[in-house]
Structure 1
Amino acid sequence: MGFEWPALVSVLTLFLLFGVAANVGRARHRYKISPPAMVGHPRFELAYRVQMNTVESTVGFLPALWLFAYYVDAAWAGILGFIWLVARVWYAVAYSQDAAKRGPGFALSKLVFVTMTVGALVGILGRVLH
């Protein structure tokens, strides 16, 4: 098996990014927040924070996913990546409802991110030292 699973997770992550951006656009329209304003109605601000937090998390996630896939195992990268994706959707939905509910999705996505990052580092060092 090749890199199909991490590739699928990457595409689904792009859909997640599109979805949270579209949600900001809807909130902007619903609460009449004209660009370039980034503050206004609290529901808009929640939608915007969800988008920005998702973008920030994705910046680290995608390299960790692909490094883990290459240096450790592509199938496991796909599994872990899918768990990260589910956790980020959970985070986005929970945060959009109430900022205090974002913790479990955030924690699970961070656990996966750290696992893939450390795994990738171990895999890289294993190759460098041998």
Structure 2
Amino acid sequence: MDGRRLETDRIHLVRDVMQRRNEGSPVLRLHFPLKCSSFITWSAFKPSVHNCSTTVHNRTPRLRGSEEHDPSFDMHDQIAFLGAVTVLAVLQQAYFFLQVIYARRKYKVPPPTISGPLEFERIFRAQVNCSEYLPLFMAVLWVAGFFFSQVTAASCGLLYLYARHKYFKGYSNSSQERLSPIYFSSGVLWILIAMSGIGVLSHILSPVFGLEIAGTLLTMLRKSIIGF
């Protein structure tokens, strides 16, 4: 019972401090006893046990970094580059779709027909191939960005989109011109897959084996990939 009462008093105390902070009122120094032999001191949400009084210091609790003003700021900062690459990928797919529509009109291939002149079939197949790889690209982009490195994942994402653009243009002109861009984009995908695996393993294994073991190994692997 004392433990539950203690936890309830803590919650009420934090709510009172936060309410006063939001209202712009000074946080008063409070003293009240608990039904136990010790008392709790709260300073910036860090409890410590003292005798004879429970104290809230006359200052507003502060959070570290940008969380002091907006707790969601760090999250936005961590996904901004990934979001930008995602928007570019969507716009690129829209451009490929439009190219297929123009090709249908140019070569007089009405939907749902997917066969026609070789020029149309190359454009159509290039668009379909890019669409097929898009879910895989999105998945490894975000996983690598969350668990490994946002900047590195976003950079790889830009390289992948550039390679896909070259692939679409090359395939539209000739089947042979698609080979180099597709090989390059596939290599970028494998890099993103590797970063995703390393990042997820680091997140899972670090609490189990400790940062000294798993963290050191995964840091070495990360440096071998990105060079720093």
Match of 2:52 in 1: none
Match of 2:110 in 1: 34
Query: TM-score, length-normalised on structure 1?
Result: 0.96
What amino acid is aligned across from residue 32 of structure 1 in structure 2? K
1:60 to 118, 125, 136: 136
- Runs of 4+ residues deviating >6 angstroms: none
8 Å CA contact retained: 1:3, 1:75: no
Per-residue deviation, 1:100: 0.7
User: Is 1:102 the equivalent of 2:178?
Assistant: yes
Per-residue deviation, 1:57: 1.3
8 Å CA contact retained: 1:6, 1:65: yes
Q: Say how many residue pairs are matched.
A: 130
Q: CA RMSD in A?
A: 0.9
Per-residue deviation, 1:87: 0.6
What amino acid is aligned across from residue 69 of structure 1 in structure 2? G
3-state secondary structure, aligned to 2:108: coil
3-state secondary structure, aligned to 2:134: helix
Query: TM-score, length-normalised on structure 2?
Result: 0.56
Match of 1:46 in 2: 122
User: Is 1:90 the equivalent of 2:163?
Assistant: no
2:147 to 43, 56, 71: 71
- TM-superposition CA deviations, 1:92-122 (whole Å, max 9, x none): 1111110111111111111111101111011
Per-residue deviation, 1:14: 0.6
What amino acid is aligned across from residue 128 of structure 2 in structure 1? M
Match of 1:24 in 2: 100
The structure with the largest helix share of the pair is 1
3-state secondary structure, aligned to 1:3: helix
Per-residue deviation, 1:2: 2.0
Unpaired segments ≥5 residues, structure 2: 1-76, 207-228
Matches of 1:21 and 1:105 in 2, distance apart?
19
Unpaired segments ≥5 residues, structure 1: none
8 Å CA contact retained: 1:6, 1:78: yes
The structure with the largest strand share of the pair is 2
